[in-house]
Amino acid sequence: MNLASLDLNLLVTLDALLEHRSVSRAAERVGLSQPAVSAQLARLRRHFGDDLLARFGNTYRLTPLAVQLRGRARTAVTGVERVFAAEPDFDPASTSREFSLVMSDYGVAVLGPDLAAALEREAPGARLRFLANTPAVVDNARQALTAIDLLVLPHGFLDGLPHRDLHRDDWVCLVDAGHPAAETGLTVEQLRTMPWVVTYHGPTASTPAALQMRMLGIEPHVQVVTENFLTVPGLVAGTGRVALLQRRLADRVPKDLGVRALPCPFEAGPLVEAFWWHPMYEHDPEHQYLRDLLSRVAADVAGHPPR
């Protein structure tokens, strides 16, 4: 295929159409009139030999081909944007770059405020985008990292990609403050019989501590599954449930919620958070700045108790 014969404006329109599934919203996104975007959609349909957007009642849905194209189009647009936004000398004070990080809500709660504050001081024109850490992103990390800057994740899930250790944390068990174990401590046998609140429960989705627990033969009776660490305390409070939670996050739980953090009755190794990136950004000066900034913020947070 001869790229010189292609209109890259069609790529931008394709990305907007696949994201918004609406000609009118896509037109707002790319700054064109609806008739202009409709004409470009017609050209895209002819090129691919596919409707891309199929009408169902009053809405449009993506065709199977369009579903395949959605991630590729976003990756391609991001790559083009970065090519033409490159500067010979990167100056944080003058950049308008958007930095994107995939993090769990635990990571955003612990590091997000300080990272945002540091970026505002050093790069006031930049924008910070936090994206949800999902099993789908982790399972397809190499592809996902072509369109995002950093993936913040504990060790044990990725290999073969450049990374840097970020900070360490410990695991605690969370129970209701009125539970008998709140005074006596938990036993391994109680962990086998108590109902559990677990995070990221699936064949390839779990927490390092939960994996360690299962390796020791402790199979939890799972009653509630959530993919948000911040919801765990509320799902434990006032119940007989137990959950694993990072100590830094447990220390931020309001006292009046009525939960208690207890030592784990098994050898729960430390949580080592790291951030990972695609090799093609190894020497990108803007990317290097973000990596150094996140490392500095994490070191500062690790040296101070929770606010």
Regarding whether 81 and 135 lie in a shared domain, the answer is no
Q: Which two tokens stand for residue 170?
A: 């410990």
Question: Computed from CA positions of residues 29, 33, 35, 39, in that sequence, does the dihedral angle turn out positive or negative?
Answer: negative
Regarding whether 286 and 164 lie in a shared domain, the answer is yes
Regarding whether 160 and 44 lie in a shared domain, the answer is no
Instruction: With residue 263 as reference, give the H or E element that holds it.
Output: strand 259-263
Indicate whether 41 belongs to any domain.
yes
Q: What is the mean pLDDT of residues 187-215?
A: 80
pLDDT, residue 248, reads 93
Indicate whether 307 belongs to any domain.
no
Q: Which two tokens stand for residue 100?
A: 């994107």
Q: Per DSSP, what are the bridge partners of residue 145? A: none
Q: Which domain holds residue 210?
A: 171-269
Q: Residue 203 — pLDDT band, cuts 50, 70, 90?
A: low
Q: What is the pLDDT of residues 289-299, one digit of tens each?
A: 999 999 999 99
Task: Tell me the percentage of the chain whose pLDDT exceeds 90.
Answer: 49
Tell me the C-alpha distance between 198 and 118, whole Å.
Answer: 33
Tell me the C-alpha distance between 77 and 19, whole Å.
Answer: 12
Regarding whether 109 and 36 lie in a shared domain, the answer is no
Domain boundary (66, 85, 104) is at 85
Regarding whether 63 and 97 lie in a shared domain, the answer is no
Indicate whether 186 belongs to any domain.
yes
Alpha helices in 126-270 (DSSP H): 135-139, 141-144, 181-184, 188-193, 208-215, 232-236, 247-250
Q: What is the pLDDT of residues 59-94, one digit of tens each?
A: 888 899 988 888 778 777 777 776 666 666 688 999
Q: Which two tokens stand for residue 228?
A: 């948000």
Q: Residue 224 — pLDDT band, cuts 50, 70, 90?
A: very high
Tell me the C-alpha distance between 272 and 165, whole Å.
Answer: 7
The pLDDT of residue 278 is above 70: yes
Regarding whether 244 and 118 lie in a shared domain, the answer is no
Q: Residue 132 — pLDDT band, cuts 50, 70, 90?
A: confident
Q: Which residue has the higher pLDDT, 119 or 266?
A: 119
CA atoms within 13 A on the CB side of 86: 11
* 3-class DSSP state of 280: helix
- Type of residue numbered 241: R
Number of domains in the chain: 3
Regarding whether 227 and 177 lie in a shared domain, the answer is yes
At residue 207, φ and ψ (nearest 5 deg) are -105, 155
Q: What is the largest CA-CA distance in the chain?
A: 73
Indicate whether 246 belongs to any domain.
yes
Check if the beta carbon of residue 141 is closer than 8 Å to that of residue 276.
Answer: yes
Task: Tell me the percentage of the chain whose pLDDT exceeds 70.
Answer: 92
Q: Which two tokens stand for residue 295?
A: 């490392």
Regarding whether 9 and 77 lie in a shared domain, the answer is yes
Q: Per DSSP, what are the bridge partners of residue 259? A: 176
* 3-class DSSP state of 246: strand
Q: Residue 4 — pLDDT band, cuts 50, 70, 90?
A: low
Instruction: Quickly count: other Cβ atoms within 10 Å of residue 93's Cβ.
Output: 10
Q: Residue 142 — pLDDT band, cuts 50, 70, 90?
A: confident
The pLDDT of residue 190 is above 60: yes
Regarding whether 7 and 128 lie in a shared domain, the answer is no
* 3-class DSSP state of 44: helix
pTM of the entire predicted model: 0.72
Regarding whether 205 and 258 lie in a shared domain, the answer is yes
Contacts of residue 237, defined as CB under 8 A and 6 or more positions apart, other chains included, come to 176, 257, 258, 259
